[in-house]
Structure 1
Amino acid sequence: MGRFYTPYVQPRRGALVGDAVYFTVRRGNAIVKYDLGKDRLSMIDPPQHCLVHGIAVTAVENYTSLGFTCIQDSTLHTWSRKGDTEETAEWVQYRVIELEKTIPVTNPEDERSVVGFAEGVGVIFVCSGAGLFMIKLNSGQVKKVDEPGEYFSVLPYMSFYLPKTGNGGGHDATDLLHST
Structure 2
Amino acid sequence: MSEDLMSCRHRRPSSPSSVAPPDDDDLLWEILLRLFPLPSSLIRASAVCKRWRRLVSDPGFLRRFRARHRTPPLLGFFSVSGGFSFTPTLDKPDRIPAARLTLPAHSNDRCCFLGCRHGLALHLNRTRQVAVVWNPITGNRRCVPFPPGTGFVLNAAVLRPTGNDDGQLIPFKLVLLCNNYDLGPTFARIYGSEPDKWGNVIAAPAPWIPTTRPSILVGNTLCWWIGEGDILGLDLETRSLALINKPAGLTSKCAFQILRTEDNGLGLAVLSGLCIQLWKANSDGAVTWVLQKTIELDKLFSPEPLVGRVGTTILGFAEDANAIFLLWDAGVFMIELESLKFRKVSESTRGFPCYPYASFFTAGSQVGEEEAVFGYFVPADQGGGQE
TM over 0.5: yes
What is the alpha-carbon distance in structure 1 between the residues aligned to residue 342 and residue 335 of structure 2?
Answer: 5
Q: Specify every segment of 5 or more residues in structure 1 that has no aligned partner in the other structure, as ranges.
A: none
Residue deviations 1:86-134 (CA, integer Å, cap 9, x gap): x2x21111121110131654455x4211111111222111103421111
Alignment of 1:74-153 (within 5 A): 74-85=274-285, 87=286, 89-101=287-299, 102=301, 105-107=306-308, 110-153=310-353
**Within 2, Cα distance between the matches of 1:72 and 1:13?**
21
2:278 counterpart SS class: strand
- Distance apart, 1:153 and its partner CA: 1.8
3-state SS, counterpart of residue 8 of structure 1: coil
Partner of 1:30: 230
Query: 1:42 Cα shift?
Result: 1.1
Give distance in 2, aligned partners of 1:94 and 1:28: 21
State the shift of 1:7 in Å: 6.2
In the alignment, structure 1 residue 20 sits paired with structure 2 residue 221: yes
**Counterparts of 2:232 and 2:290, CA distance in 1:** 19
Task: Name the Cα RMSD after superposition.
Answer: 3.0
Q: Is the alpha carbon distance of 1:143 and 1:49 closer, same or farther for their aligned partners in structure 2, counting shifts above 3 Å?
A: farther
One-letter amino acid of the structure 1 residue matched with residue 342 of structure 2: V
- Aligned residue type for 1:94: Q
Shift in Å, 1:10? 1.5
Q: Deviation digits for residues 55-97 of structure 1, max 9, x if unmatched?
A: 211211342x111112111111111111233x2x211111211
Question: Larger helix proportion, structure 1 or 2?
Answer: 2
CA distance in 2, matches of 1:7, 1:37: 21
CA distance in 1, matches of 2:250, 2:277: 8
Picking from 47, 50, 56, the partner of 2:257 is 56
Q: 2:355 aligned to 138, 155, 170, which one? A: 155
**Is the partner of 1:12 in helix, strand or coil?**
coil
Pair 13,104 (structure 1): closer, same or farther in 2 beyond 3 Å? farther
| Alpha-carbon distance in 2 for matches of 1:73, 1:125 | 16
Bigger relative contact order (CA 8 A; separation at least 6):
2
The aligned residue for residue 52 of structure 2 is none
Amino acid at match of 1:14: S
Q: Rate the CA distance shift 1:172–1:119 in 2: closer, same or farther, 3 A.
A: farther
Residue 44 of structure 1, CA deviation: 1.1
8 Å CA contact 1:60, 1:120 repeated in 2: no
2:354 alignment partner AA: V
Q: Does structure 2 conserve the Cα–Cα contact (< 8 Å) formed by 1:62 and 1:120?
A: no
- Structure 2 unmatched runs, 5+: 1-182, 184-206, 379-387
Q: Cα distance 1:77–1:164, how it changes in 2: closer, same or farther (>3 A)?
A: same
Query: Letter of the aligned partner of 1:171 in structure 2?
Result: V
* TM-score normalised by length of structure 2: 0.39
Aligned to 2:72: none
Give the distance between the partners of 1:158 and 1:81, measured in 2 at CA: 25
Work out the percentage of aligned pairs sharing the same amino acid.
26
Measured in 2, the distance between the counterparts of 1:173 and 1:116 equals 31
Q: CA deviation at 1:179?
A: 2.8
